[in-house]
Amino acid sequence: MKPSRPLLSPRPSSRPAAPVRTQTGGANPPVAAQDRTLLLLNKPYMVLCQFTDEGGRETLKDYVKEPGIYAAGRLDRDSEGLLLLTNDGKLQAQLTQPGEKTPKTYWVQVEGMVSDEALAALRAGVELNDGMTLPAEARIMAEPEVWPRNPPIRARQAIPTCWLEIKIVEGRNRQVRRMTAHIGHPTLRLIRYAIGAWTLDGLAPGQSRALTPGEMPSPAPRPRAPRAAPTRMAASTPARGQPPARATDKASTGASSKGSGRASARRPARKA
């Protein structure tokens, strides 16, 4: 019998562990620090990570009622788990910028039993069609006690499954699924358990909670403008072929004048 609320912790393992969207299409306006909101949502399976859909499919609007709040990052429709939502455009950028390298932890049920060599490939980085992935943290984990998926995964009696915990800092399209497919183990179920230090603990599918002021992340510091290097007055350089200018002062000029005057006084006057 499954528990009424998710127990988001794995059973002890017997094996060693090896763009911002608004309803008007613009960006979120700046929000005062005391008015910032950040929600943790456990996004259910087959829910679109957006607030509108012309096809009538389930979206975030069916689970999030707070006005003026939007997803910080994305999660595929066929993936489940933690999604962050905020009303602050600056916070949204802080949480999603690639340079921040925020780790994201996934619990992944894959087809087949994963070998140590396959785990080593994930840890080293694998070559996908859009380039090499950064090294990931990957280990085999015990089956977590989570909510049942509806509909359940495709199960084959002749092919076993296992669970992996994979931690990455990138956010490419369907990256984890492509990584497990690359090592020969297609993903059957994918749950994002954590983003940074925030986790799904205590959240059933469709439930959300707002972070308290003490849990809110600090604003990103503003980058300092580089200081201008001090400039030195360059000494004037004479043109090529010209002698350097001689320094003169009043004393030398005066002495010269007096000398010429005495010379003139000694010279006898010419007769007319």
Active site residues: 76
Please give the backbone phi and psi of residue 3, each rounded to the nearest 5 degrees, phi first.
-70, 155
Residue type, 33: A
Residue (of 82, 118, 105) closest to 167 by Cα position: 105
Looking from the CA of 154 toward its CB, the CA atoms found within 13 Å total 6
Residue (of 88, 59, 62) closest to 74 by Cα position: 59
d(CA 242, CA 238): 6
d(CA 126, CA 134): 8
